[in-house]
Structure 1
Amino acid sequence: MGEGGDPASGEEFSLDGEPETTARVTFLDYLRSPIVELVVGNGPSQTVLAAHQALLTKSPYFDGFISKFTEGSPRRIYLPDEDIDATGSLLEYLYYNEYFPKRLGDSKDGPLEIDPTILVPDNDGVALLKHARVYTIADKFGLPALKSLAHSKIHRTTSTARGEIAYARFVYKETSREDLTIRRPVAAFWATRSHVLRHEAEDEFRAMCLEFPQFGFDILSLVLDQKEKRSEAAGPSTHGEAPKSGRKRARVSQG
């Protein structure tokens, strides 16, 4: 009898009749894999990081480069356009399934560890931008779990009006229009708070709307949607009558 298995159970059996089991990959196995150099940035700020190949292959992006390595050639990947801190957070995640600052508890609104490098108040949005950069690099490198983790940390991070504008600018500059996962909460935040927060950062808010018209459009769309829902919930003021225009007379075009 040759090597085979029971089709009904899906188990594979060896010649001696014992079921075969897939070998468990241990953390030590990862550490035994070859070292790959990551050359991050360019110019004077260029930095060389080192990571184990088996961990990097979790990313389809890295795996594509690694699969082209040949015997005796440098095991090196160049990342000239990537942020060094975001790359560091990505590597931390590959090794430990987390990155600093870590979540404290499983509550959706639970806090993160205190990052002593972040000023309070965070007027530059440094904390938000950290997680936003991790989100975008995770998206690029094909790591959806890290992308989701970074997004959850964004919602646990507090900032100021100016910090929120800095974050919104990054999101609308660095993400695609179709990425509603991160864009829609940004627009919703300002749609519900812009009447208050814009006075704290009026110049920045105006500049943001002019630089990214889609930002202003998304906010306006949400505001109008909310107004429409409230009107529908309230119902018509007078049954059977067509709604009247609030304008007493038609606007006349000048010129």
Structure 2
Amino acid sequence: MTATSATTVTTDDSSLLNNTLTSAIVTLVIGSEQRLFAAHEDVLCVSPFFHNALRGNFMEDAPRRIALPDEEPEIFSSVLEYLYKGDYYPRLIHNKRRNSWELESASDEARDSVESTVYHHAIEGDILKDTVIYCTAEKYGLEELKRVALRKQGLQSGIQCSTILASARYAYANTPDSDSKLRAHYLALIIRSRSTFKRSGTMQLEMYNGGTQLFFDLFVALCNHVDDISAS
């Protein structure tokens, strides 16, 4: 891919536009293993979540430290990367020639080290990394990061049915009812992959295990899909 045929996505609510990084350093203690991260206060305060947590809660010369025991270090690392650089790896590329969005190309070695899923301790299983980033961005009030994460997970392929359903459940549990974009993504994905789900038996097991809002929404979406086919 040449520099003339593709451009990297830029963001609005990222602190990439800040030319000076002179504010206080904040120490962040992430996850059950208490991984340590460091970031500039002004960079973190792009997020309303961190703005409220930091502004006025510390003495002028006091060390700034925030503990987030429920976060996954890998996810938080991507959020910090976004705040400093305007995107997280693999970056989102717009191919002007094809007028399409792609994930940046990487060497075979780098590609092998990038997983599309992440182990989440709260559910004790693997879910799509971009879904967790979207939900984390929702919590932190980073609207542009949500848009980037949503577009990226639409580019993923070859994901197991069980991972799709686990990620869909996580999306429903960690987004408000008023935020339908991520939920709609999963409903459309399941409908497009309905034959694969039928063969795998995964959906049948999920529905036996108990109904949730996800399955009602899926039922409505399937009915609308059938109606559209019948009307065409």
Which category of TM-score, normalised to the shorter sequence, fits these structures?
0.7 to 0.9
- Alpha-carbon separation, structure 2, partners of 1:29 and 1:109: 31
Q: In the alignment, residue 208 of structure 1 is paired with which amino acid?
A: E
Structure 2: gaps (5+ residues): 1-15, 120-124
SS at match of 1:105: strand
**Residue 104 (str. 1) matches residue 93 (str. 2):** yes
2:93–2:102 contact (8 Å) kept in structure 1 = yes
2:28–2:65 contact (8 Å) kept in structure 1 = yes
* Residue of structure 1 in register with 2:70 after alignment: 81
Q: CA RMSD in A?
A: 2.7
* Residue of structure 1 in register with 2:3 after alignment: none
* Identical amino acids, percent of aligned pairs: 27
Q: In the alignment, residue 214 of structure 1 is paired with which amino acid?
A: Q
Q: In the alignment, residue 168 of structure 2 is paired with which amino acid?
A: A
* Residue of structure 2 in register with 1:172 after alignment: 172
In our comparison, the structure showing a higher alpha carbon Rg is: 1
Q: Which has the higher contact order (CA 8 A, sep 6+)?
A: 2
- Residues 12-64 of structure 1: CA deviation (Å, up to 9, x unaligned): xxxxxxxxxxxxx975512x22111111123xx11111001121111111111
- Alpha-carbon separation, structure 2, partners of 1:183 and 1:128: 15
Question: By percentage of residues, which structure has more strand?
Answer: 2
* Residue of structure 1 in register with 2:11 after alignment: none
TM-score scaled by length of structure 1: 0.69
Q: In the alignment, residue 29 of structure 1 is paired with which amino acid?
A: T
* Residue of structure 2 in register with 1:67 after alignment: 55
Q: In the alignment, residue 28 of structure 2 is paired with which amino acid?
A: L
TM-score scaled by length of structure 2: 0.76
SS at match of 1:170: helix
- Residues 193-212 of structure 1: CA deviation (Å, up to 9, x unaligned): 31x1114431x322333444
1:37–1:76 contact (8 Å) kept in structure 2 = yes
- Alpha-carbon separation, structure 2, partners of 1:26 and 1:217: 43
2:128–2:164 contact (8 Å) kept in structure 1 = no
Q: How does 1:36-185 map to 2 (within 5 A)?
A: 36-42=26-32, 45-68=33-56, 69-106=58-95, 107-114=99-106, 115-118=111-114, 129-158=128-157, 159-185=159-185
Q: In the alignment, residue 163 of structure 2 is paired with which amino acid?
A: G
Report the count of equivalent residues. 201
Q: In the alignment, residue 53 of structure 1 is paired with which amino acid?
A: E
Q: CA deviation at 1:143?
A: 0.7
- Residues 66-111 of structure 1: CA deviation (Å, up to 9, x unaligned): 2122123221112121121111111001110010111233444424
Q: Greater shift after overlay, 161-170 or 218-227?
A: 161-170
SS at match of 1:36: strand
Q: 1:211 to 1:82 in 2, by over 3 A?
A: farther
1:33–1:53 contact (8 Å) kept in structure 2 = yes
- Alpha-carbon separation, structure 2, partners of 1:183 and 1:26: 31
1:129–1:170 contact (8 Å) kept in structure 2 = no
SS at match of 2:36: strand
SS at match of 1:81: coil
Q: CA deviation at 1:161?
A: 2.6
Q: In the alignment, residue 133 of structure 1 is paired with which amino acid?
A: V
Q: In the alignment, residue 67 of structure 1 is paired with which amino acid?
A: R
SS at match of 2:70: coil
2:28–2:36 contact (8 Å) kept in structure 1 = yes
SS at match of 1:104: strand
Q: CA deviation at 1:112?
A: 4.1
Q: 1:193 to 1:147 in 2, by over 3 A?
A: same
- Alpha-carbon separation, structure 2, partners of 1:119 and 1:102: 14
Q: 1:217 to 1:111 in 2, by over 3 A?
A: same
